[in-house]
Amino acid sequence: MRLAFFAAAIIALWVSSAFAQDTAVEEAAHRAEVLAHLPHDAAELLFGREATPAPGPPEAIGTYERGCLEGAAALPADGPNWQVMRPSRDRAWGHPMLIALIERLAQKLPAEAGWPGLLVGDIAQPRGGPMLTGHGSHQIGLDADIWLTPMPPRRLSAVERDEISAMDVVAADRMDIDTATWTPQHRRLLEAVAREPGLARIFVNAAIKRALCREAGPDRAWMAKIRPWWGHNYHFHIRLSCPSGDALCRAQTPPPPGDGCGKELDWWFTEEALHPPPSPPRKPLRLADLPQACAGLVTAAGQALHIPGGAR
């Protein structure tokens, strides 16, 4: 039963993680492949062609895996201590609360964690919703991927942002971190982010969780939010709780208390978890699969698809 649950979940996050690293060319190839098979009324198409945020007050609508976003804000491509990666995907949109959190974190991390700044991966589309490629979640503007590569001390060019690879901090056998790339600053970074009050969960590779279990100090309450998941060896995924006042946002059950370092973690290093059976391709979503309010955020099927423009 546990396996059946995870089989569905793998589609949501494991697959997304495999593609999170894709260069612009690889991303375009995946996009073309998906487009060739999608029905014309697929929600992925309807949300994928929206180029601007839905006007109105910010509101996360639905669940992280089935929803949309009103009143999104864009994370600027450059800030004092951050740079947006893979800009040609145009996925730096999010709930203003998440955007503000990323900006605040980026500013305090050099002093608090010895982390020079954030390389920010996918957040969400301008109106959230399901995406043509990659993620099962990231639909309501409360999820963001952050690279495990420290920000370099210079501004990357648009081409570099679309092409360079992130740093893998997990060993090839997936049993532990790679001591050649993992640093004490990685632990300090994840701890500083996990201590943020609005944070619901952080997804990391199980090997990273294993390292944190070893390296965390006696005050371990923050560890509850660090959740092992497939992939997430090049980036970690932060997820905010539903903002209070977003009445249509559907929260996820909070993670169980405790540091999560016991038996629950051991399972991730079993054969069943390390080498799961291949998942069937993700089924396209229809507007009817999303909360009713999401239908109002997209224009009807049959119009030209918005392909995000060149690197910005």
Q: Select from 159-167, 178-186, 232-240, 257-265 the region that touches Zn ion (CB under 5 A).
A: 232-240
- Smallest gap from residue 130 Cβ to Zn ion (A): 13
Residue 215 structure tokens: 């390296």
Q: Which is nearer to Zn ion, 210 or 237 (CB)?
A: 237
Residues 246-275 that bind Zn ion (CB under 5 A): none
Query: Coil, strand, or helix at residue 140?
Result: coil
Longest dimension (CA), the chain: 57
Q: Which is nearer to Zn ion, 161 or 237 (CB)?
A: 237
Residue among 31, 49, 127, 237 that touches Zn ion (CB under 5 A): 237
Residue 114 structure tokens: 């010895």
- Smallest gap from residue 237 Cβ to Zn ion (A): 4
Q: Select from 46-54, 170-178, 230-238, 271-279 the region that touches Zn ion (CB under 5 A).
A: 230-238
Measure the CA–CA gap between 247 and 46, rounded to whole angstroms.
Answer: 24
Measure the CA–CA gap between 28 and 244, rounded to whole angstroms.
Answer: 37
Residue ranges of E strands in the chain: 59-63, 66-70, 73-74, 78-79, 82-84, 93-94, 118-120, 143-147, 199-205, 226-229, 235-240
Give me the 128-157 binding string for Zn ion, x by CB under 5 A, dash otherwise.
Answer: -----------------x------------
* Burial of 245 per CB tally in 10 Å (0-12, 13-18, 19+): exposed
Q: Which is nearer to Zn ion, 149 or 287 (CB)?
A: 149
The verdict on 127 binding Zn ion (CB under 5 A) reads no
Q: Which is nearer to Zn ion, 145 or 162 (CB)?
A: 145
List residues binding Zn ion (CB under 5 A): 145, 237
